[in-house]
Structure 1
């Protein structure tokens, strides 16, 4: 039971966010309506991508060097210093982006900038997570993740109960929940090993830049459509699309579990066939759930989100097909990374990202939720094609070292943060 509890605790912590997010989705949609739900997405979705750019792979570097025996406190401080410049530059870019979003989505510019200033504490929080990750303090990390999910859900319920229908209020409440839950990361930890090895800024920076390619590519591939959509579509269309994403990404819970196990098995030297057997049930569940959601979407969407969101049905049915491809791609990314090819695995989401950008450029101002869904589908199909191609090329080249537990957890964390709601 002692060995089983950490697994159950981690699964509960990782699953709480998506599950409670799904439960709060209808509450949020009915409280704000299509326009308000679109405004909420305009505020919240860019934060995940901006956070990945602002932290620039530094949390993974802090986790890695801490685990390798460097002075954990020293690595943590170096990470904070190195994060200052990318965080400031990212915030400046967000302020420029905010002007157009404010105009297109009819949101106060001040509210956008206030919400997006979260990237500064977010960078610090992510680096602090890396500190504890390097120490292997999973209980503290699980507690923080679970607390955030509960607080965010409570914020949505309370604001909806009070009859508040202003998107920035829900956004600020959710971000406040994020910061409050993160305080757990600054509580004392027993048995912390601070290490004695010295580490230079250059070493941390080099590792961070290498890790950032995959981190940013994965997050961007899964969020860029919702970052670009506010620039070319009205809030109502973004609201429809946000609801569609919420429903269509439910099967990704199984995809994340498949990716986690695939990374572990591949890192141990298992063949592709052996990995497929190990994660097959998760992928079958993901594809089955996708098929069920596509079938019941016409009745499910108006029942849970209200009749005003019926236009989301077509987007749900398109996106949920892409979810099936995405679950397989996530698994293949893990297999390739587990074979010691993390940079090569980054080409998979990068290829999907390029398809997304090309699609938005091609459609331009004619963009709506359904067209955005089709672009997302093409992106996922392209990413899967690239993944299969890379896997075929390196089928006879297993890793000589695999991945460490720290690298494994980092990749799964990126996938979850990119996909989580």
Structure 2
């Protein structure tokens, strides 16, 4: 498990670095208003790409990890997601005119970006299959290749002074579609297919079982995605492009600190789906929080000195917004790992309840705070949502397995040593 976490950390670190490097390129190349227009155009795609997956990538991971093979499950999910992607794109084109203001040029850019929805959904299914196979190296390659290619294109466009909102949105959409190439080797390799009791080859997870699990986990996944992304979408009519740009930059910076949390959460979900180990889950949560807190502290220090030089003086106002988001990241970390444990235990609906409650509170807070406080209001709303989601996940773990909440939060001496070993192992990965 430590090896898989190390690989996943690298797979999250390199894309995070590329995304962090892309942020100042976009900020300086597009300017404050242009950066806001880019955020407004891509926010619906990012939101739809996660919300319309309907929990199928996680369901693929769960059943593949439990059965040892998920090829037919993957095929069924790909068919469903193709239909969902086409329907979602058509629906988005229909509702955009009423969502964007008449004077906004972001509507035409959003129409362009949403064309990448179906490929994004299919790539997410392949990522779920690779995770269930414990083939984390393919997931790492996919994430790294996508983010790195996007950074290279942004840089080339900026160097030629051709980086416009249209060029940036086009680049974002195209690079989101190429990730499937990383999974071709995994799909070529033949894997053992499970058999039934009478020796016949199993036809994989049924549509009923796949749908039941995916819907139960999707409710939470939708809540989590809305908690992370709905604020930027709601800011389009509630605030200005400049405030949206400040918040988008702050979110980009704060999300760079999630590399360890995401790695631990993903590996724990796949590992615990195959074999339950409450003690291992608790240790993973504690170590993840230690590493995330260290990353947040370093990021906060760097922001004070480097945001204005890297992004431009007008983006200096995003520094306090970043600080609020970092606090929310640390507080919500233990509950995030606990939520992955709930899903792996076959109780994804409990995680869903937590995230839906947090999402509801977050939306109310956004509607109340953003009109007056702009980017800072959105950050405070996110902090509140993270606190609610994290606490409820920990509380449900206590109810389900009798775990003590402090075992997920209070670090122990050996946790520091294990965290150091994980960092060293990750540093040795190519």
Q: Is the 8 A contact 1:59 1:126 kept in 2?
A: yes
Task: Structure 2: give runs of 5+ residues left out of the alignment.
Answer: 195-200, 405-430
Residues 351, 104 of structure 1: CA spacing in aligned structure 2 closer, same or farther, 3 A cutoff?
farther
Residues 25, 339 of structure 1: CA spacing in aligned structure 2 closer, same or farther, 3 A cutoff?
same
Tell me the equivalent position of 1:190. Answer: 189
Residues 165, 202 of structure 1: CA spacing in aligned structure 2 closer, same or farther, 3 A cutoff?
same
Give the aligned length. Answer: 394
TM-score, structure 1 normalization: 0.81
Q: 32, 42, 45: which one pairs with 2:43? A: 45
**Structure 2 counterparts to residues 290-369 of structure 1, below 5 A:** 290-294=296-300, 297-363=303-369, 365-366=371-372, 368-369=374-375
Q: Is the 8 A contact 2:8 2:140 kept in 1?
A: yes
Residues 132, 393 of structure 1: CA spacing in aligned structure 2 closer, same or farther, 3 A cutoff?
closer
Q: Is the 8 A contact 1:255 1:327 kept in 2?
A: yes
Tell me the equivalent position of 1:380. Answer: 386
Q: Is the 8 A contact 1:49 1:216 kept in 2?
A: no
Q: Is the 8 A contact 1:45 1:227 kept in 2?
A: yes
What is the CA–CA distance in structure 2 between the aligned matches of 1:27 and 1:92, rounded to whole Å? 32
Q: Is the 8 A contact 2:35 2:165 kept in 1?
A: yes
Q: Is the 8 A contact 1:345 1:387 kept in 2?
A: yes
- Displacement of 1:9 in angstroms is 4.1
Task: Structure 1: give runs of 5+ residues left out of the alignment.
Answer: 399-421
**Structure 2 counterparts to residues 74-113 of structure 1, below 5 A:** 74-103=72-101, 106-113=104-111
Q: 165, 173, 176: which one pairs with 1:175? A: 173
- Displacement of 1:392 in angstroms is 3.6
What is the CA–CA distance in structure 2 between the aligned matches of 1:334 and 1:275, rounded to whole Å? 9
What is the CA–CA distance in structure 2 between the aligned matches of 1:76 and 1:134, rounded to whole Å? 11
State the secondary structure of the residue aligned to 2:101.
helix
Q: 129, 140, 143: which one pairs with 2:141? A: 143
C-alpha RMSD over aligned residues: 3.2
Tell me the equivalent position of 1:270. Answer: 278
Q: Is the 8 A contact 1:352 1:383 kept in 2?
A: yes
- Displacement of 1:66 in angstroms is 5.2
Residues 73, 275 of structure 1: CA spacing in aligned structure 2 closer, same or farther, 3 A cutoff?
closer
Work out whether 1:286 is the aligned partner of 2:284.
Answer: no
Q: Is the 8 A contact 1:56 1:86 kept in 2?
A: no
Q: 235, 246, 254: which one pairs with 1:248? A: 254
- Displacement of 1:302 in angstroms is 0.7
**Structure 2 counterparts to residues 32-71 of structure 1, below 5 A:** 32-65=30-63
State the secondary structure of the residue aligned to 2:203.
coil
